[in-house]
């Protein structure tokens, strides 16, 4: 990626956050959705962020995914100082470096499974045929090779989430970001999806997951607990809670 921006090439971390805050002014009150978060994440890590509702998990993930900008703080992604990038450069980063998986799937309703997975490649200079090929591969990888021509509303929740994961994977991003990916799924389907994540992780994919379920969080290498926009605990998975 050629970006004319401030770089910190000495930084070995894939993600380096320094005192990130996100404040919302709601009338006279100030909501501190994030309040001075500093964290480093290495390549190949699987990190789970856990916290109760309203603790700032989604806000945090949106900033990591370059969908949102922090009010204050520094964010280095792959050594690139993200805060200085313009909208189009951020779009480029979202397209190349980040795969986003949402709780509500966020598929394009009028496009087929295949079309949805091809869509991120549309924003690159990749020909139609090659796009198809890549999207097929990605769908095969998530076990949906036989549902390519279905529209989102012709798929089950678990299948939709698989399409969303395939869409996130097809660009071969540096990081997969998932915001409560199993939040809308039953426990069996959730287990399948988590198994898929586990497989991706074993293939070397960096994963950042947001959840409020302890057993989902426990599947990663590292669990970071948030409360009221602050990190209250950063532990290895499997470590006892208290």
Partner 1 sequence: MFHVILESTRSALISILAHGLRSFLTTLGIVIGVASVVAVISLTQGMSAFIGESFSSLGSNSLTIQSYTPISEAMRGVRARLTPEDLELIERRAEGVASITPILYASRSSQVRHAAQTTFSQIMGTTYAYRDVAQAWVHSGRFIAESDNLTRRRVTVIGEKVRDDLGLPENPVNEYVELGGEWFKIIGLLEAKGDVMGFDQDDIVLVPYSTMRSLVGNQSQIDIQIQLSLSEQAAVDDVTRQLTALLRNAHNLEPDEDDDFRINTAEQLMETFDTIINMVTLVIGGIVSISLLVGGIGIMNIMLVSVTERTREIGICKAIGAKRHHILAQFLIEAMLLSLLGGLIGLALGYGLGTAISSSIDSFPPASIPLWAIALALGFSGFVGVLFGILPAAKAANLDPIDALRYE
Ligand X SMILES: Nc1ncnc2c1ncn2[C@@H]1O[C@H](COP(=O)(O)OP(=O)(O)OP(=O)(O)O)[C@@H](O)[C@H]1O
Site for ligand X in 87-126 (CB under 6 A): none
Q: Which does 171 bind (CB under 5 to 8 A by kind): ligand X, partner 1, Mg ion, none?
A: partner 1
Q: Compute the CA torsion angle 76, 32, 106, 178 (nearest 10 deg).
A: 50
Write the DSSP assignment of 100-162 as a string of letters.
EE-TT----TTS-HHHHHHHHHHTTT--HHHHHHHHHHHHHHTT-TT-TT--GGGS-HHHHHH
Q: Which is nearer to ligand X, 24 or 123 (CB)?
A: 24
Site for ligand X in 26-65 (CB under 6 A): 26, 31, 33, 51, 53-59
- Give me the sign of the Cα torsion angle 177, 56, 63, 224: negative
Q: Which is nearer to ligand X, 39 or 117 (CB)?
A: 39
When computed from its CA atoms, the radius of gyration of the chain, rounded to whole angstroms, is 18
Q: Which is nearer to partner 1, 151 or 191 (CB)?
A: 151
Q: Which does 26 bind (CB under 5 to 8 A by kind): Mg ion, ligand X, partner 1, none?
A: ligand X
Identify the residue among 12, 19, 24, 235 touching ligand X (CB under 6 A).
24
Q: Which is nearer to partner 1, 147 or 167 (CB)?
A: 167
Least distance between ligand X and beta carbon 51 (Å):
6
Tokens of 104: 């509500």
Which residue, chain included where needed, has tokens 């998990």? 57
Least distance between ligand X and beta carbon 231 (Å):
13
Largest Cα–Cα distance in the chain? 54
Helix (H, G, I), strand (E, B) or coil at 168: helix
Q: Are strands 222-227 and 80-81 parallel, antiparallel or unpaired?
A: unpaired
Q: Which is nearer to Mg ion, 138 or 226 (CB)?
A: 226
Least distance between partner 1 and beta carbon 50 (Å):
22
Least distance between ligand X and beta carbon 143 (Å):
28
Q: Which residues bind partner 1 (CB under 8 A)?
A: 62, 65, 67-68, 87-88, 91-92, 94-96, 100, 106-111, 119-120, 122-125, 167, 171
First and final C-alpha spacing in the chain: 43
Distance CA 112, CA 104 (A): 17
Least distance between partner 1 and beta carbon 186 (Å):
24
**Which residues lie near ligand X (CB under 6 A)?**
24, 26, 31, 33, 51, 53-59, 212
């Amino acid at each position: 990626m050629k970006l004319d921006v401030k770089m910190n090439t000495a930084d070995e971390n894939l993600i380096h956050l320094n005192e990130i805050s996100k404040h919302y002014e709601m009338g006279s009150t100030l909501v501190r959705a994030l309040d001075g978060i500093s964290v480093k994440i290495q390549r190949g890590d699987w990190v789970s962020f856990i916290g109760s509702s309203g603790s700032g998990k989604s806000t945090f993930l949106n900033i990591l995914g370059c969908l949102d900008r922090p009010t204050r703080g520094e964010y280095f992604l792959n050594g690139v100082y993200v805060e200085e990038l313009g909208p189009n450069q951020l779009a480029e980063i979202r397209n190349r470096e980040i795969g986003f998986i949402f709780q509500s799937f966020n598929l394009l309703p009028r496009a087929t499974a295949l079309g949805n997975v091809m869509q991120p490649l549309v924003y690159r200079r990749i020909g139609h045929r090659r796009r198809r090929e890549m999207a097929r591969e990605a769908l095969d990888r998530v076990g949906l090779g036989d549902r390519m021509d279905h529209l989102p509303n012709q798929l089950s929740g678990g299948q939709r989430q698989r399409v969303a994961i395939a869409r996130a994977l097809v660009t071969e991003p540096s990081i997969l970001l998932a915001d409560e990916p199993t939040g809308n799924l039953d426990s069996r389907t959730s287990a399948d999806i988590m198994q898929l994540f586990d497989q991706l992780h074993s293939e070397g994919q960096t994963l950042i997951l947001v959840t409020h379920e302890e057993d989902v969080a426990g599947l990663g290498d590292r669990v970071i607990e948030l409360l009221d926009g602050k990190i209250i605990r950063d532990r290895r998975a499997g470590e006892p809670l208290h």
